[in-house]
């Protein structure tokens, strides 16, 4: 398996705990295990693969928080990370060292409380898409004057419990309010042509 680059086992009705052994030397860059019925605690062995950049564990029945005792520089630098519907109850602490993320999906979990201050530095220069919808979030621990993500094109905050005013958004983002839900995306071409 050392020469394999992409492993896509999504939508295969796989069940049981997720176990990978002896894969730290693997050259895998993408693993998709979404839409299965995988159970158990988080697969920490996946996080020993330094070449891994794209990981999709969404829509499984994983339990336990994605935590690490020591945040290590040997963790993979993800560009895409999909952890929607993974029973997360808090923001995964390993995200603190993720500064190359382009696409992050933490939607449809059970993350509650306020978005922590440190989270505003995750992918600050690179993040283009952030989905934290369908959680139990009530606001930001320290509300920023301007959301910090310089490359952000899409932000989904729907179906949370945010209260008060939303922070000022970077230029070029449009807020759409649909039945009380907040959807924010980069200004489409038709909007620019119509409204300047």
Average pLDDT over residues 92-116: 94
- The answer to whether 77 and 99 are in contact (CB under 8 A) is yes
Establish if 117 belongs to a structural domain: yes
CATH number of the CATH domain containing 26: 3.80.10.10
Question: Given a cut of 70, is residue 178 above it in pLDDT?
Answer: no
What does the block give as tokens for 98? 């993720």
Question: Given a cut of 50, is residue 195 above it in pLDDT?
Answer: no
Higher pLDDT, 45 or 196: 45
- The answer to whether 138 and 162 are in contact (CB under 8 A) is yes
DSSP 168: B
Q: How far is CA 32 from CA 13, 81, 189, in A?
A: 13, 10, 32
Q: Looking at residue 177, what is its pLDDT?
A: 39
Question: Given a cut of 50, is residue 86 above it in pLDDT?
Answer: yes
Average pLDDT over residues 120-137: 94
Establish if 1 belongs to a structural domain: no
Establish if 160 belongs to a structural domain: yes
DSSP 118: G
Kindly state the percentage of the chain with pLDDT values over 90.
33
Q: Looking at residue 64, what is its pLDDT?
A: 59
Establish if 167 belongs to a structural domain: yes
pLDDT band at 123 (very low <50, low <70, confident <90, very high): very high
Question: Given a cut of 70, is residue 182 above it in pLDDT?
Answer: no
> What is the domain extent for residue 101?
6-195
Q: Looking at residue 192, what is its pLDDT?
A: 45
Q: Tell me which residue has tokens 């330094």.
A: 50
Establish if 42 belongs to a structural domain: yes
Q: Looking at residue 191, what is its pLDDT?
A: 44
Question: Given a cut of 90, is residue 127 above it in pLDDT?
Answer: yes
Name 178's bridge partners. Answer: 181
pTM of this prediction exceeds 0.75 = yes
Query: What's the rounded Cα separation, in Å, for the pair 186 and 33?
Result: 29
Question: Given a cut of 90, is residue 41 above it in pLDDT?
Answer: no
Strand order in the sheet with 15-17: 15-17, 37-41, 61-63
Higher pLDDT, 164 or 55: 55
Q: Tell me which residue has tokens 């409380």.
A: 113
Burial category of 39 from C-beta neighbours within 10 Å (exposed 0-12, middle 13-18, buried 19 and up): middle
- pLDDT averaged over the chain? 78
Q: How many domains does the chain have?
A: 1
Kindly state the percentage of the chain with pLDDT values over 70.
68
């Amino acid at each position: 398996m050392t020469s394999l680059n992409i492993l896509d086992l999504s939508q295969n009705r796989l069940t049981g705990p997720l176990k990978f052994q002896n894969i730290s030397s693997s050259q895998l860059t993408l693993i998709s295990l979404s839409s299965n019925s995988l159970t158990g605690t988080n697969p920490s062995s996946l996080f020993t693969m330094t070449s891994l950049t794209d990981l999709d564990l969404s829509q499984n029945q994983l339990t336990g928080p994605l935590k690490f005792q020591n945040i290590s520089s040997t963790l993979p630098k993800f560009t895409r990370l999909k952890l929607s519907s993974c029973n997360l109850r808090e923001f995964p602490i390993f995200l603190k060292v993720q500064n190359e993320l382009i696409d992050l999906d933490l939607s449809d979990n059970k993350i509650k409380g306020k978005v922590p201050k440190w989270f505003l530095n995750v992918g600050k220069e690179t993040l283009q898409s952030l989905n934290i919808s369908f959680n139990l979030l009530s606001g930001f621990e320290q509300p920023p004057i301007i959301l910090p993500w310089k490359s952000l094109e899409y932000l989904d905050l729907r179906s949370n419990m945010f209260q008060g005013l939303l922070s000022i958004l970077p230029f070029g983002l449009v807020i759409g309010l649909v039945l009380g839900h907040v959807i924010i995306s980069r200004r489409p071409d038709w909007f620019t042509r119509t409204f300047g």
